[in-house]
Chain A
Amino acid sequence: MTNLPSTELGAVRRLQVLAASIPGAAYDETVVQAPFESLWAFVSDMDTSMPRLFPNFRTWRTVAHHGDHLQAAAVGYLGQRGVFDVTLKPGLCIMQDRRFIGGIAAQPGVTGTRFALLAAPRGPARHLGAPLRPLAQRLLRRSARRLGTHLTT
């Protein structure tokens, strides 16, 4: 019965599912005028891309890489340090330390590459997610636009 109709969500819808399932998550999506391959190559170079995509990171240093799992040491603008566990697959990236959850998704679209970002507080701060969501969404939108500009200039 393998010929019955079935469907695949794609990376962006998967990130939407996670955003709807993680309490307090902020989510934003845009279309970037760049090929998926070059966009995802940029994202996958996380030591460079993370400080550009998420304004809370000053530096990001990948310290271990096994298959689609990474570990990274990040430093924030206020000097806070975090050890991140990351799942990095083609088109989808999820990361977390004990205070923060981040997500990135991309897939080829009709007029460009659909690109989506997720951010949510984790742990004791998770209750701040809902009240801070409008602010987080504005920051994500700004990050996505910055990426678009970076990749097309």
Chain B
Amino acid sequence: MTGGGQPDLLRLVPAAQGGDALALEALLAVLEPYVARLVSPIALGDAADATQESLVLVLRNLRGLQEPAALFSWARTIAVRQAVHMARSTSQTAVREPVDIPDHGDEQFAADVHDVLDRMTPEHRAVLVLRDIEGLDERTASRLLDVPRGTVKSRLARARAGFRKAWQQ
């Protein structure tokens, strides 16, 4: 699943790897909504910074990508790890600013979802995003988060239970 129609990755990725700035910008345009969708529920108040940092990491290291068709799954790994890292480091110190809720759909519902997610740890938010939103299987989520499958399973159970409990309050 990508952030929009499947772009011409087979052309754009090698061009960007070779220093073509227009191809780099085209990749940024297709990656941004995808990365933002992954990162925002994990990083919450730091969503814009986490999205920006993730995209910098993805594009700066693009030369290391062997297979252009794997761009989105490769970006997903970088983005989720970066979001967890940023959320973990700021959750200990930061006073959160309210995030911008997108101006579509039910704004109160979006605010409620944000509030519930805000009560969870970044690790729980990440596993919830990967398993229940991205639809990844346990093995892929475990590899992506660099934790054992058992940890993914237990985190997911706790995250779902925590989400349900907070949602009902």
The residues of B that contact A103 with a CB separation of less than 8 Å are 21
Q: Is A47 part of the contact surface with B, judged by Cβ < 8 Å?
A: no
Q: Is B59 part of the contact surface with A, judged by Cβ < 8 Å?
A: yes
Query: Would you give the 0/1 interface string for A92-133, flagging 1 where the beta carbon is closer than 8 Å to chain B?
Result: 101010000101000000000000000010110010000000
Q: Is A8 part of the contact surface with B, judged by Cβ < 8 Å?
A: yes
- B contact residues, range: 35 or more
Which of B87-95, B110-118, B147-155, B157-165 contacts the other chain? B110-118
Enumerate chain B interface residues (CB-CB to A < 8 A).
Answer: 19-22, 24-26, 28, 32-33, 36-37, 39-41, 44, 47-48, 51-52, 55-56, 59-60, 62, 99-102, 104-106, 109-110, 113-114, 117, 133
Q: Are B47 and A14 in contact (CB under 8 A)?
A: no
Q: Given the known A-B contacts A17-B28, A21-B60, are A6 and B102 also in contact in the complex, defined by CB atoms under 8 Å?
A: yes
User: Is the contact region of chain B dominated by helix, strand, or loop, or is it mixed?
Assistant: helix
Q: Given the known A-B contacts A5-B99, A6-B102, A7-B51, are A87 and B22 also in contact in the complex, defined by CB atoms under 8 Å?
A: yes
Q: Given the known A-B contacts A2-B105, A13-B52, A122-B19, are A7 and B25 also in contact in the complex, defined by CB atoms under 8 Å?
A: no
Among residues of B, the one whose C-beta sits closest to the C-beta of A7 is B47
- Closest CB of chain B to A2's CB: distance in Å? 6
Q: Are A3 and B32 in contact (CB under 8 A)?
A: no
Among residues of B, the one whose C-beta sits closest to the C-beta of A14 is B28
Q: Are B21 and A94 in contact (CB under 8 A)?
A: yes
CA gap between A80 and B52 in the complex, in Å: 36
- Closest CB of chain B to A124's CB: distance in Å? 11
CB within 8 Å of B: which of A76-92? 85-87, 92
The residues of B that contact A123 with a CB separation of less than 8 Å are 19
Among residues of B, the one whose C-beta sits closest to the C-beta of A101 is B21
- Closest CB of chain B to A26's CB: distance in Å? 14
Q: Are B28 and A18 in contact (CB under 8 A)?
A: yes
Q: Is A63 part of the contact surface with B, judged by Cβ < 8 Å?
A: no
Among residues of A, the one whose C-beta sits closest to the C-beta of B61 is A21
The residues of B that contact A13 with a CB separation of less than 8 Å are 48, 52
Q: Are A3 and B105 in contact (CB under 8 A)?
A: yes
Q: Given the known A-B contacts A18-B21, A85-B22, A122-B21, are A4 and B40 also in contact in the complex, defined by CB atoms under 8 Å?
A: yes
CA gap between A59 and B21 in the complex, in Å: 22
- Closest CB of chain A to B146's CB: distance in Å? 24
* 6 more CB-based (< 8 A) A-B contacts, given A20-B56, A21-B60: A3-B102, A9-B52, A17-B52, A18-B59, A103-B21, A123-B19
